[in-house]
Structure 1
């Protein structure tokens, strides 16, 4: 029975470890602005599936998710997703490259764009695939929403606390299981 309890603790610990997610605040305290260097900002970071990007920006900005070609050319007419409203959280749901630009006139061309590579948590190695858009091989056309869109996610801090509580209870309950058997 002691081996079963130890096995339970190890399984809970491994499961808890895989649920950690990080919220990356784009541009750190400066936010999503015309004056950011987003290539340097992203260079030292690892973006995992399950993490989120928090874009904080003023009313003259917004966030478009675009293809690599549109990112390279600062083209915003064919955005995959568009966000407005001053605060946007984007969940990184699959491995591979992601591209973001500010669609306001001239902003992308002056550096208000971000390219990241999302990796799978299990491998932590860069993915080499590009986003798939179905049989037509081009991103779907979307229109800009008239109301702010934000995809809420759990705060990484509260998720970490919850995970620590689970591990703590596991460590307390495992010895009790051993003494009861």
Structure 2
């Protein structure tokens, strides 16, 4: 009985770590641009798949900001009563729950010039309910630096593949107990 309980605890912990490792950092507008009026942000959003646990990284100059707004304020480019305001050039926002979120630049005229995104986050298979994914903040403090990009693989093996193989080996060892 104790071995089965230990096995279940190990499997749950491995699944949680595996899911966090699969989270993706989306640098808004990258690779061709950033959070500015010259980047085709709508095309960028359309090319992305946002999952619970992922993070948005906004990189911008001091003449911009990031406002999270309601759907109505997004549609009208209204900066009144934002849900959250971020400044400082580097803003990291965790996508901790499924659903739509709306972001605009509060600088006069920028939203009308296309500096706005609607992010539709979907739940990944096995995603814990909203509010129960520790370690994934809903928003980090303005001005915080985004994490460094993951190291490039010289042999073409992805991080996901390495984690899957490692998880499989761990399960085989646990089953051998």
Normalising by structure 2, report the TM-score: 0.69
Q: What does the per-residue CA deviation read over 1:71-120, in whole Å, with 9 as the maximum and x for residues that have no partner? A: 00000011000000011001011111010000001000010001110111
Q: How does 1:3-152 map to 2 (within 5 A)?
A: 14-19=15-20, 20-29=22-31, 30-122=33-125, 149-150=142-143
8 Å contact from structure 1 (residues 13, 167) kept in 2: no
Q: What does the per-residue CA deviation read over 1:124-162, in whole Å, with 9 as the maximum and x for residues that have no partner? A: 9xxxxxxxxxxxxxxxxxxxxxxx72567866838x96x
8 Å contact from structure 1 (residues 62, 86) kept in 2: yes
Unpaired segments ≥5 residues, structure 2:
128-140, 152-157
Between stretches 15-24 and 59-68, larger displacement belongs to 15-24
Unpaired segments ≥5 residues, structure 1:
125-147
- Superposed CA RMSD in Å reads 3.7
Structure 1 residues 60 and 157: alpha-carbon distance in aligned structure 2, compared to 1, 3 A threshold: same
Structure 1 residues 169 and 78: alpha-carbon distance in aligned structure 2, compared to 1, 3 A threshold: closer
Mapped partners of 2:71, 2:19: distance in 1? 29
Number of residue-to-residue matches in the alignment: 152
Q: Give how far 1:12 is off.
A: 6.0
Structure 1 residues 24 and 70: alpha-carbon distance in aligned structure 2, compared to 1, 3 A threshold: same
Structure 1 residues 8 and 153: alpha-carbon distance in aligned structure 2, compared to 1, 3 A threshold: farther
* Greater relative contact order structure (CA < 8 Å, 6+ sep): 1
**Secondary structure in structure 1 of the residue aligned to 2:150:** helix
Deviant stretches of 4+, over 4 Å: 3-13, 150-156, 163-167, 172-177
